[in-house]
Chains A and B, each alone.
Chain A
């Protein structure tokens, strides 16, 4: 099973600034990497798939990069609605699909 590790666990950033979230896989997942956003009481939302492709309706301030074992989600010019928990997920070596433990992005 591929283990996904996210860092940091909590990230404090001021509105309008940039946030950089990291995700590491225990072995290569090529580009089969997705990022999700989750707010309390809401359904998780797909932000990025294929490591760098924005999902439908996702603003351009969200971008993903990386391949193999190291991945990054960057959110530029943070808006109030961006403060949430973010999860990465690999779907390369699936069954099981595996997720990172999440990064909580909080207002500084």
Chain B
């Protein structure tokens, strides 16, 4: 059974940092692209970042470019999102999701999310 389990969320002050993790099981991580999507209170879904299966190619939404870094450790079956210079607007539930490849591919499995709250 495919499972994605996010962790690392929490309450952080504006300007602070967090590192999210997404542990994968039930499939071979290193042949799939991975993505982070966030959902703010009120429901809107926003794509945040994607990474190719090897980790050699990364992509970011303009709203997080230069502040967030996506990475993966295929040997640990884990995806990461390093978030710096956090803002109130980054407050959201963060999901990781898998896809066959980056690009013209839907996200076929998602985790349940980890909540990030940016507030003083």
Contact = CB atoms under 8 A, between A and B. Distances in A.
18 contacts: A32-B104, A34-B106, A43-B95, A44-B45, A44-B107, A45-B110, A46-B109, A49-B106, A55-B108, A56-B108, A91-B106, A92-B104, A94-B104, A95-B59, A96-B47, A98-B47, A99-B44, A99-B46
B45 A91 contact: no
Contacts, number: 60
Interface residues of B, number: 25
B56 interface: no
Nearest to A31: B104
A43 B61 CA distance: 22
Contacts of B59: 95
Interface in A69-108: 85, 87, 89, 91-92, 94-99, 101-102
A59 interface: no
Interface residues on A, range: 20 to 34
Top-10 shortest CB links A-B: A34-B106, A99-B45, A49-B106, A97-B47, A43-B110, A43-B112, A44-B110, A95-B59, A46-B108, A96-B47
A62 B104 CA distance: 22
A50 B97 CA distance: 18
B45 A87 contact: yes
A96 B43 contact: no
A36 B43 CA distance: 13
